[in-house]
Structure 1
Amino acid sequence: MASDELFLEVETMMFVIAELHAFNFMQDGECAGMSKDLTFDDCSAFGSISWAAKRLGMSKDQFLRKRDNLESEGFPKRDPLTNYYHKADVDAWIDHRRRIPDALTDAISGIKPRTEVDLDAI
């Protein structure tokens, strides 16, 4: 085989390997040849299944396996018009499940306004 032919064959193989690598490369729900999941953007009010899974700290497969149980515990269902999760609803569900409230909230709720006077104490 001539050196020019060998060089062309190696160059072609390197191109094919680079293309395969680019196609298989995954990053934040984005894969070459597929559009990026725009629901991960901060300005999006709605989130995809991948977004909801990530918000709960799960893989997409884990989320799909647990979705029925989550929904039975009040996790919001997807919006029928957009077929996405409303991010505020998901966050409200997460906040509602908190077991320990913020210390500042408790401290503020125990403070009486200064204008209140206990006339019975006089």
Structure 2
Amino acid sequence: MQSDPLPEAVHVTIFMEGLRTGIARTEVVRVHPSTFEEAVRIALNAEHNFKLVRLGWNGYNPSSARANSTSTPAVTRPEPMNLSYAEDEGEVELQAADQQRQATSQHSTRARSLAWHGEMPIPSGRGAPY
């Protein structure tokens, strides 16, 4: 007695329910593929991409590089960048922005206080600027 094979949608649904909760299941449910092969491809790609992102684009693992430092030539290992100049410029920009923010905040607080107590006239036709 030969029974009819299950429809493709049933195979896809069973595969989706059998996946562990994670990025692969989320991606397969989001895309909702029409064939079993497409569902498997989407799940494998999602897992692969997730692992690439976790390890970095080149798969560099600092702990394994330290363990193999004698056997790995220095040419293939990433070398740290000198950020001393960038940090100095960035710090100056941050300090200037912080000073500007403080000056603006102090001015608007004082203006609100004066307007609240009726000491500062509100420009006609524009309403309260705050």
Q: Normalising TM by the smaller chain, what interval?
A: under 0.3
Computing the radius of gyration from Cα coordinates, the structure with the larger value is: 2
Write 1 or 2 for the structure with the bigger share of strand.
Answer: 1
Q: Normalised by the size of structure 2, how large is the TM-score? A: 0.26
TM-score (norm 1): 0.27
